Amino acid sequence: MPKIKFAVLAGDYIGPEVMTEALRVLQHVAQQDGLTLEYTAADVGGAGIDNHGQALPESTLKVCAAADAILFGSVGGPKWEKLPPKEQPERAALLPLRKHFTLFANIRPGLLYRELTDASPLKNERIPNGIDIVCIRELTGGLYFGKPKETITLPDGDVQAVDTMVYRRSEIERITATAITAARARKNKLCSVDKANVLETSVLWRKTVTEYVAKHAPELALTHMYVDNAAMQLARDPNQFDVFVTENMFGDILSDEMAVICGSLGMLSSASLGAGKNSLGLPFGLYEPAGGTAPDIAGKGIANPCAQILSVALMLRYSFGLEKTAARIEAAVKKAVTGGNRTGDIAFGKPSVGTKAMTDAIIAAL
Ligand code: IPM
Ligand code: MG
């Protein structure tokens, strides 16, 4: 029986609510497909601060290191907003986790079912068949981690802050390799997004992507686009992209834009794959919903569990090689949602169901 050994970091506010439901779905498919589950829960984010004085406690890191993957909920919220920026749950938990496990490849599917086009702020005629694109974001380089990163007082008394955008060719090559794999699994189309008209890092980015694709995947249709144009094109005609790959900060911004045009954050999952392999020889990864902790609806039992459930599917696919089970979960979510089960965020005034009922519908579809 394949063993699914993973860490459960539910986090704050709706994090634990949707995690409970995602685990319920996983238990169901595990029984159907003969998988053994072995998971350990650990505190992260605000829960880490409250219970251990740290957003990413050492004990939590240990639990993650002993696992083959991390199933992550979401962290942060008003309760910890008064802390200094560096101690905020988002920054003090997520970023160190990414760095610690070298989770350099962030895969964010932008998926909007045709039946849900009303949920998108884009006009229906721009997306008659919904949206189906993928953002590949470099996650451990660029402005987020480059040194120097500091705020100093200058001799003249003025204050100056600096972040450093830095990329090595090897970092660009490995994210390009991830993008190639993603493009090959779809339409053999890849768009690389940069700012090569201004930034040195982007000049290296474009050259490296071009050379790497020419050498390793000449069959791909590779295009390049400046990031400002890409932001505009995403709003104009998102499906002109199939897979796009970009550096850390550009990907942060474009993936939020992608999320909003896809209607609800409650439907989008993501995978952050590491450079290292797990005990099965597959990428160690962190899997999380795209939305945040949604403090305004926490505790009401109305949060959309789909993104967390779809994150389970991504975990089974990438870190455990269980493509069939992953695809079954994705199909069940689609069936439940397009069949009329809608949480409030995707109901558009029609009757809505709560977190548990939504999950029940997905389990029934399985
Ligand atoms: C994301 C988030 C994070 C990021 C924040 C919470 C640090 O916005 O995953 O996109 O900027 O990467
Ligand atoms: Mg973001």
For 1-103+269-366, CATH gives 3.40.718.10
Label residue 91 left, alpha or beta by phi (over 0 means left) and psi (-120 to 50 means alpha).
alpha
CATH 3.40.718.10 range(s) for the chain read 1-103+269-366, 121-261
Q: What single string gives the DSSP state of each residue in 337-349?
A: HHTT---GGGTTT
And the tokens for 331?
């199909």
- Residue minimizing CA distance to atom 4 of ligand 1: 252
113 counts as catalytic: no
Residue 208: strand, helix, or coil? helix
Residue nearest (by alpha carbon) to ligand 1 atom 12: 252
Record the tokens describing residue 88, joined without a space. Answer: 């905020």
- Backbone angles phi and psi of 160, in degrees to 5: -130, 135
Q: Please indicate whether residue 259, judged by its CB atom, sits closer than 6 Å to ligand 1.
A: no
Residue 144 a catalytic site member: yes
**Distance (Å, rounded) from C-alpha 344 to C-alpha 340?**
12
Global pTM value? 0.96
**pLDDT score, position 94:** 95
CB atoms within 10 A of CB 153: 9
Q: Give residue for tokens 């685990």.
A: 23
Alpha-carbon gap, residue 142 to 249, rounded angstroms? 7
The Cα–Cα gap between 277 and 299 comes to 37
Predicted confidence at residue 137, as pLDDT, reads 98
What does each of the 366 residues of the chain score in pLDDT, given as a tens digit? 789 999 999 999 999 999 999 999 999 999 999 999 999 999 999 999 999 999 999 999 999 999 999 999 999 999 999 999 999 999 999 999 999 999 999 999 999 999 999 889 999 999 999 999 999 999 999 999 999 999 999 999 999 999 999 999 999 999 999 999 999 999 999 999 999 999 999 999 999 999 999 999 999 999 999 999 999 999 999 999 999 999 999 999 999 999 999 988 899 999 999 999 999 999 999 999 998 999 999 999 999 999 999 999 999 999 999 999 999 999 999 999 999 999 999 998 889 999 999 999 999 999
Distance CA 44, CA 93 (A): 7
- Could you give the 3-state DSSP secondary structure of residue 53? coil
Query: How large is the greatest C-alpha to C-alpha distance in the chain, in angstroms?
Result: 69
**According to the model, what pLDDT value does residue 2 have?**
86
For residue 91 and ligand 1, the question of a CB distance below 6 A is answered with yes
Whole-angstrom distance, CA of residue 336 vs CA of residue 309: 12
For ligand 1, whether the C-beta of 288 sits within 6 Å is no
What pLDDT does residue 255 have?
A: 95
3-state secondary structure of 365: helix
CATH topology of domain 121-261: Isopropylmalate Dehydrogenase (3.40.718)
Residue 351 Cα, ligand 1 centroid: separation in angstroms? 32
Residues 6+ apart with CB under 8 A from 67: 5, 6, 7, 39, 40, 278
By the 10 Å C-beta count (0-12 exposed, 13-18 middle, 19+ buried), 124 is classed as exposed
Determine the pLDDT at residue 264. Answer: 84
Phi then psi for residue 239, to 5 deg, are -75, 0
Rounded CA separation 154/317 (Å): 51
